[in-house]
Amino acid sequence: MPDQRTGRRMEPTGTARRGDWLIWTMALLLVVYLAGLVLPAAGLRSLVDGWLGPATQWIPAVLCWRAVYRTRFRRMLVLLAAGAVTVFASANTYYILQVGDGTALSFPSPAEFGYLTFYPLMLGSLAILVYRQLRALPPAVSLDSAVGALGTGALLAAVLSPLLLTAQAGEPTLASVVATAFPLFDLVLVAAVVGVASARGLDVGARWGFLVGGLLVFAATDLVYAEQVAVDSYAVGTVLDGGWAVGLALVAVWVDGLTRPLHAGGRRRTGAWTLIVPMVSTASGVLVLVLGTQVKLSALAVGLATLTLAGASLRTAVAFRDLGRMADLRRQTRTDDLTGLPNRRALYLDVPLRLSAAGGPRSALMLLDLDRFKEVNDSLGHDVGDELLVQVGRRLAAQLRPRDLLARLGGDEFAILLDGAGPVEAEAVAATVQTAIAEPFTLAGISLQTSVSVGIALYPEQSDNLTGLLRKADMAMYKAKSGGTGHHVYRSTDDSHGDSRLRTVQELRSALREDQLVLHYQPKIDLATGEANCVEALVRWQHPARGLLQPGQFLDLVEESGLMHAMTHAVLNKALDQAMRWQSQGQPLAVAVNLSARSLLDTELPGRVRAMLSSRALPASSLTLEITEEFLMSDRERARDILTQLRDTGIRIAVDDFGTGYSSLAYLRDLPIDELKLDRSFIFPMADDARAAALVSSIVDLAHSLGMTAVAEGVEDSIAYDELVRYGCDQAQGYHMSRPLPVAELDAWLVRRRAAVPTA
């Protein structure tokens, strides 16, 4: 039946496997044919050259037209590739029949026309394969492709130089010119293939290696053929003829692979390894130019080598520009726009590192909130309120030591980390801060007084992590505000919800035992095609008394009570069970699952996930694990070890809520990450805030330059959706497309979506 995402005709798994008899038949005939060519014999042999030779080239053509039928004649790249294989087989059959009858062929004959037509048809197929994808990728990727293609072309042209120079020096015949044209066309094809391999982020099909191998075999065979024609030594029925048969068979296997659905064996070219191709190509260009000083090379080889180095220089300039933009992006994502102080992201990055570095035996986290700040905004306007926040930030910074950290969390909330401070020192600083803030401010010609409430939490006595410290400092701050004391150090009795929380923990344990957790799924939309090929699994709690609870109502408690491992296991099982059901229905969807930092501390997690996938016969590419920046910044070595084990399995790794916490470019470079998910706080203000839009564009370019996919969260309207398409963002999710849905509602939504999206 047709795959509704791609328009390709799909067969059930069993039928697809039985259909491979054609490939095995082709391979068997090829082996027999090659063996026949090796056997000593004079002249044309009826069985080997007259029957097996054409058969080994017509079966690849049949295989290609089967692929055309499976795609319902709708994919032009498959049609062009099938046409290329067919014209080559036709030309070869004509040639064999004429020579076998003893007919002297006129030159040029229809056979030469068929052979030469093979090359532009294959180039057209490759062009269609990458055209739409390259438009959505940044210029740096196109430059990498150009450098890869030019460098490869320069190296192959250097290899062909003796042949080209000989043809130029002598009196070339038309036959030798045409024979020389074959390896030159091969040069173009192989260079194009290497250029595609250099493009990070392209989906190149399930059997890309077969195309590369087939074209390389063609190039080698054509080179030997041209040399033999030049000295009039070519004869039909030698082992050389087997080279074209092998190359054609490999190309046909690649064409057959184009009928496979996306993510079922195909892969996108991502990761640092893709940089190897342009680097090697640049080195090839240098090598050719150096070699040209020692031996005579063709003008084509020298020209391509020169263009390779020019492209590499331009790529270097683009890379330096991107580095400058990345540095500016890093600064902006860590700085509060209004006050110039570190923001919440910087706090979440720096505090865990400071605490783990053990710069002092104790530390104190202070949470500050201005009293009656809303009245200032309401009575004097938001511009005056903003100026008050700026002046408050300056006064707070003046009261602190250089090693203390001051950050604005948002609104009228500030946070201070005091290194090496106990309760006495923290209360002294709080009193100093209160006195400084109590001094009158002059705003818009008006003298204004305000006050601040300060909550204090102590490390490590009251919590050993930032999340716990913020929660307890927040409770202490509200205690100070409600009691009018100005500042307050957290005490265990401040948690007025202790009994309720304990009861909820017990209910959570029962929920895990009694399967009360349910998953809703929010689709991710491929912005290039409009298709939904992946969903994010989001957990809900079907509470027997309180109804359906959102994750914000219980996940923090799950984390604190040590139940995260059990919940992670339950969510993964449910998500993969559903992925298996979708696959069995012939409409596979990749599933993304969120993992907390605590879950990723489990060293046995990679093995368990592999076992879960294996037991359901699911490909590893059907699962994406979304991790928080908190985990990346807490333990770099552990992050690399765990993520590498998961990635080596084939599981995709995504950084969730990118920009709200850890955002070190060095870590993004070093860790095995496939996706960056832009936090909704970047997406929401895009329509009205040019700086927010610039940040989104920069993050998309950053992701692409590192070989990663950019995914936008929280897309709420068509304006944001269209802007993300324009910026080249890869995927998006949000209420504009669909809110998280139960399975039944999601299936109905997918049917409507597939009907609305035109088949590619």
Which pLDDT tens digit goes with each residue over 244-291?
Answer: 889 899 989 988 888 765 444 444 544 444 556 667 777 777 887 787
Phi then psi dihedrals of residue 408, to 5 deg = -100, 125
Q: Which residues lie below 8 Å from residue 183, measured CB to CB, with a gap of 6+?
A: 160, 163, 219, 222, 223, 226
The average pLDDT across 157-179 equals: 60
pLDDT for the residue 460: 87
**pLDDT category of residue 106 using cuts at 50, 70 and 90:** low
**pLDDT category of residue 656 using cuts at 50, 70 and 90:** confident
The average pLDDT across 42-55 equals: 72
Which pLDDT tens digit goes with each residue over 488-531?
Answer: 999 877 765 555 666 888 899 999 999 999 999 999 999 988 89
The average pLDDT across 605-614 equals: 91
pLDDT for the residue 204: 65
pLDDT for the residue 265: 43
The least confident of 86-100, 177-191, 210-224, 460-474 is: 177-191
> Chain-wide mean pLDDT for the chain?
80
Element (H, E) at 270: none
pLDDT for the residue 266: 45
Which percentage of the chain shows pLDDT scores above 70? 77
Structure-model confidence comparison of residues 90 and 602, the more confident one: 90
pLDDT for the residue 536: 95
Structure-model confidence comparison of residues 397 and 40, the more confident one: 397
Per-residue exposure over 508-528, b if at least 16 CB sit within 10 Å of its own CB, e if not: beebbeeebbebbbbbbbbbb
Which tokens in the block code for residue 387? 């100026």
- The pLDDT of residue 2 is above 50: no
- The pLDDT of residue 116 is above 90: no
Q: Cβ distance 349 to 633 under 8 Å?
A: yes
pLDDT for the residue 661: 52
**pLDDT category of residue 206 using cuts at 50, 70 and 90:** low
- The pLDDT of residue 45 is above 50: yes
pLDDT for the residue 7: 37
pLDDT for the residue 235: 75
What is the distance between the alpha carbons of residues 651 and 675, in angstroms, rounded to a whole number? 12
Which percentage of the chain shows pLDDT scores above 90? 26
- The pLDDT of residue 461 is above 80: yes
- Three-state SS at 138: coil
Which tokens in the block code for residue 217? 């075999």
Where residue 404 falls (left for φ over 0; alpha for ψ -120 to 50; beta otherwise) is beta
- The pLDDT of residue 6 is above 60: no
Structure-model confidence comparison of residues 401 and 328, the more confident one: 401
Which pLDDT tens digit goes with each residue over 414-438?
Answer: 999 998 888 999 999 999 999 999 9
Tell me the pairing of strands 590-595 and 532-543. parallel
**pLDDT category of residue 334 using cuts at 50, 70 and 90:** confident
- The pLDDT of residue 14 is above 70: no
Structure-model confidence comparison of residues 169 and 245, the more confident one: 245
Which pLDDT tens digit goes with each residue over 550-609?
Answer: 988 888 778 767 788 889 999 999 999 999 999 999 889 999 999 877 677 677 888 899
- The pLDDT of residue 13 is above 50: no
**pLDDT category of residue 198 using cuts at 50, 70 and 90:** low
pLDDT for the residue 628: 77
DSSP per-residue string spanning 101-113: TTPPPPSS-HHHH
**pLDDT category of residue 11 using cuts at 50, 70 and 90:** very low
Q: Cβ distance 85 to 252 under 8 Å?
A: yes
Closest to 565 (Cα-Cα) out of 536, 605, 593:
605
pLDDT for the residue 92: 83
The average pLDDT across 705-731 equals: 91
pTM: 0.48
Cα dist from 655 to 596, 659, 671, 708, 760, whole Å: 11, 10, 11, 10, 30
